[in-house]
Amino acid sequence: MLIVTTQQWSAISAHLTQHLPNEACGLLAGRKGRIEKIYLVTNIEQSPVRYEMDPNELLAAILEMEQADWELLGIFHSHPAGPPTPSPTDIAEAYYPDSAYLICSPDADNNWQGRAFEIRDSQAHEIEFKIESSNG
């Protein structure tokens, strides 16, 4: 399970919207499925159909997670044209099998929706993704 607060979801959504029409990406750090910090990372591909995280930002985030004793709970990115499911490229390049992959796309009203997946051994399985109020 992957749990974000409404405030965190708003920050993710704003990041995704800011980078339209391109894909946007980032990392989700925390413990036991609950997100403690979101890392908004630059997509150096600047592409509407592909992302690659800026290596310096990625390294800085990983080091900070280690210092805070957080886990890399998830990796998120957008599919601006939908759907919020893993593409063949997402599955082929899923290098972190112990992390969830949160894929976001706009719904019919242009509000962001997200679905989380575990991607392991070239197979994607949906896992529970919850947005909870910021005060629990």
Which CA distances in Å does 42 have to 5, 76, 106? 22, 12, 20
Q: Can you tell me the distance from the alpha carbon of 76 to that of 35, in angstroms, rounded to the nearest whole number?
A: 12
Contact 23/49 with Cβ under 8 angstroms?
yes
23 catalytically annotated: yes
The catalytically annotated residue of 23, 45, 64, 118 is 23
- Nearest residue to 132 (alpha-carbon basis) of 62, 34, 16: 34
The tokens describing 94, both together, are: 């899923």
Which active-site residues does the annotation give? 23
